Structure 1
Amino acid sequence: MKIKPSLSTIQGLLFTYCIENTRNPDREELIALTDVNNSKELKDLFDKLTRPEFIRYKYEERQRHIQTLEHFLNTEETFEAVFYLFDTYFNDEIIDKRQFMKVLLECLIRYNLEANA
C-alpha cells in the first residue's frame, strides 16, 4: 500500500533543527550561525546535520521523504504548515520556504545516491 504524502513527514525530518530536540550546544550554535536564506550555507548545514541520519534510513524511508518533497513541490504548497508552531534554532525567519525545501530535496537526492552506491 502506498503511503499518502504528508507534511508531517517533512517536519519529522527537520526535527534536528527544532528547539524541542535534545540539547546540544554545538549543533545549536551551528544552526544559529547559518544563514537559512543562503542556499550554499543551507546545503553545508544539511550536509553536516541531515546527511548522517538520512543515509542510515532504509531505502523505502529515504524514498518516502524524497517523494513527499517532490509531491508538495509540484503543487502550490507554501510549506507554512511545516514551520507553523515549529520553533527552530535558526536566527532568521525562512523567507522562501519553497526554496528551502528545494535545497533540502536536492540534498536528499544526493544523499540517497551516496547511500545506494
Structure 2
Amino acid sequence: MKNKPNMSIIRGLLFTYDIENTDDLKRENLISSKNINTEKELIELIDELTKPEFLSYTKQEQEWFIDSIEHYLSIEDNFDSIFKTMATYFSEPVINQQMFMRTLLGRLRQYRNTQ
C-alpha cells in the first residue's frame, strides 16, 4: 500500500540541515560553506549529508520521500511550510525552493536506482 504524500516527512529528511540537529561542527561548517542556490554545490551537499540517511531507509520509505516531493512539485507548492519553519546552517536563504526540491528529487531517484 502506497503512503500519501506528506510534507512533514520531507522536512524530516532535511533535518540534517536544521540548527536543532545535534551539534556537529564539521557538518555545520560543511553546510555553511556551500552556496545552496547553485545546483552544483547543492548536489555536493546532498550527496555528502542526505545520501547516507536516505539509503538507511527501507525501499518503501524511500519511495514515500520521492512520491511526496513529486506530488508537491506537481501541484507547484512553494515549500514554504518546510523552509519558513526551519532554521538552517545555510549561509543564505534558499532563493528558489522548487529548484532545491527538484535537485533533491533527482539525487534521491539516482540513489534509489543505483542500490
Stretches of structure 1 that go unaligned for 5 or more consecutive residues are none
Q: Could you tell me which residue of structure 1 aligns to residue 99 of structure 2? A: 99
User: One-letter code of the match for 1:5?
Assistant: P
Q: Could you tell me which residue of structure 2 aligns to residue 52 of structure 1? A: 52
Consecutive aligned runs of 4 or more in structure 1 exceeding 3 Å deviation: none
Q: Could you tell me how far 1:11 is from its partner in structure 2? A: 0.2
Q: Could you tell me how far 1:35 is from its partner in structure 2? A: 0.1
Q: Could you tell me how far 1:84 is from its partner in structure 2? A: 1.8
SS at match of 2:114: helix
- Superposed CA offset, 1:45-76 (max 9, x none): 10000111111211000000000001111012
- Superposed CA offset, 1:9-56 (max 9, x none): 110000000000000000000000000100000001100001111112
User: One-letter code of the match for 2:15?
Assistant: F
Q: Could you tell me which residue of structure 1 aligns to residue 41 of structure 2? A: 41
Where do 1:11-90 residues align within 5 Å? 11-90=11-90
- State the alpha-carbon separation in 1 of the partners of residues 64 and 90 from structure 2: 26
User: One-letter code of the match for 1:43?
Assistant: I
User: One-letter code of the match for 1:2?
Assistant: K
Aligned residue pair count: 115
- State the alpha-carbon separation in 1 of the partners of residues 53 and 81 from structure 2: 23
With structure 1 as the length reference, what TM-score do the two structures score?
0.95
* Percent of paired sites with the same residue: 43
With structure 2 as the length reference, what TM-score do the two structures score?
0.96
- State the alpha-carbon separation in 2 of the partners of residues 33 and 75 from structure 1: 32
Stretches of structure 2 that go unaligned for 5 or more consecutive residues are none
- Superposed CA offset, 1:78-106 (max 9, x none): 00111122100001010000000000000
